Amino acid sequence: MERTVKIMDHPLIQHKLSILRDVNTPTKDFRELVNEISMLMIYDATRDLPLTQIDVETPCGTAHCKIIAGRKLAFVPILRAGLGMVDGGLKLVPSARVGHIGLYRDEKTLKPVEYYCKLPKDIGERDVFVTDPMLATGGSAIDAITQIKLRSPRSIKFLCLIAAPEGLEALKAAHPDVDIYCAALDDHLNENGYIVPGLGDAGDRIFGTK
């Protein structure tokens, strides 16, 4: 099966993303919007979950219904900023497990530096959704997914809000088996490795650290 690379052009996602980008959007609104957009993205990224048939007794008869076929999910945010996307996913799939991968980009080399990794023990039985709002050079996403693959999950999908063409190409080449979902594909990276026009530093804007 061909892997998915999807730019999510749903009007609700695009509307909310435009507010998110605005330099004047305050931290509280920014955090809520990241949550809402993530929920909409995860709604779509889970559309291939397999269903199974059950019969349900209603007050008026038997309904032949469908439920999700015992699929186990895990969300793995890339710290810090990926954390902002987890609540949206847990609202839709409350029984999902959550792993964490801590990476930061070295400001000079732009290479990811890993400082934490804690994944669910049974990740081998789970479909994993890796979250990070920004796919810039792609280094952080590539590294995080390499770490997760060492534990052989059933599948991996990567979700970001904004991707740069450089990062998208790098991630596609490094992990050809990973489905990729983005709310927008932007123009380029600047000399500091920031996405243009982007939204600035996602972690600082979610957590109000600048």
Task: Give the footprint of ligand PRP on this chain (CB under 6 A).
Answer: 78-81, 103-105, 110, 112, 132-141, 167, 193, 201-203
* Residue that is written with structure tokens 């972690």 in the block: 203
Q: Which is nearer to ligand URA, 73 or 195 (CB)?
A: 195
The SS3 of residue 195 is strand
Q: Is 103 in the site for ligand URA (CB under 6 A)?
A: no
Catalytic residue numbers, as ranges:
105, 109, 201, 204
Q: Which amino acid is at 96?
A: A
Q: Which amino acid is at 12?
A: L
By a kind-dependent CB cut-off of 5 to 8 A, residue 43 interacts, out of ligand PRP, ligand URA, none, with none
First-to-last CA distance in the chain? 44
The answer to whether residues 48 and 3 touch, using CB atoms and an 8 Å cutoff, is: no
Cα–Cα distances in angstroms (integers) from residue 113 to residues 2, 123, 150, 155, 202, in the given order: 31, 23, 18, 24, 17
Q: Is 166 in the site for ligand URA (CB under 6 A)?
A: no
Q: Which is nearer to ligand URA, 62 or 192 (CB)?
A: 192
Q: Is 207 in the site for ligand URA (CB under 6 A)?
A: no
Binding region for ligand URA (CB under 6 A): 81, 134, 136, 193-195, 198, 201-203
